[in-house]
Amino acid sequence: MGHELTRIAYVEDEPDIRFLTEMSLEAIGGFDVASYETGHEALQKIEAFNPDLILLDVMMPEMSGPEILRRLLKEQALKNIPVVFITAKSSRSDIEEMMADGAIGVISKPYDPMTLADEVRLLWSNSPAKLAD
């Protein structure tokens, strides 16, 4: 039996979206969420938070979501944490590319804050990573 999904790290540069997503995941989903504004901040702090899942915005100024994922995959302590992208770029080819990069799923923006936690939970429950514990 794999462990429960409780801790989510979230990287998003837009304060409004970050706040909404955090509220949605904490208030509705009951998750423990740590948010980061930039990829640099996330890469410095994620290991200490030890999340079960990482949610990444795709388009961010300094470091894109896929770039953050590439760096996470190089870190021994972080490379097995499942990653989900949240993005407005949701054409089939974009999604295929993100999945090929190693994401377990892609959530399209704008998403419904009422169902976001369920979407995340569903992706997590279908993810091979949680069986690896």
Distance CA 81, CA 92 (A): 24
Q: Is residue 1 part of a domain?
A: no
Residue 2 lies in a domain: no
CATH code for the domain in which residue 27 is found: 3.40.50.2300
In a domain, 133, yes or no: no
Report d(CA 9, CA 57) in Å as an integer.
Answer: 11
pLDDT digits (tens, 9 = 90+) for 10-52: 999 999 999 999 999 999 999 999 999 999 999 999 999 999 9
For the chain, the domain total comes to 1
Share of the chain above pLDDT 70, in %: 94
For 25, the domain range is 7-127
Nearest to 123 by CA among 70, 66, 79, 84: 84
What does the mean pLDDT of the chain come to?
91
Buried b (16+ CB within 10 A) or exposed e, 41-79: ebbeebeeeebbbbbbbbebeebbbbebbebbeeeeebe
Is the residue at 118 inside a domain?
Answer: yes
Grade residue 132 by pLDDT with cuts at 50, 70 and 90.
very low
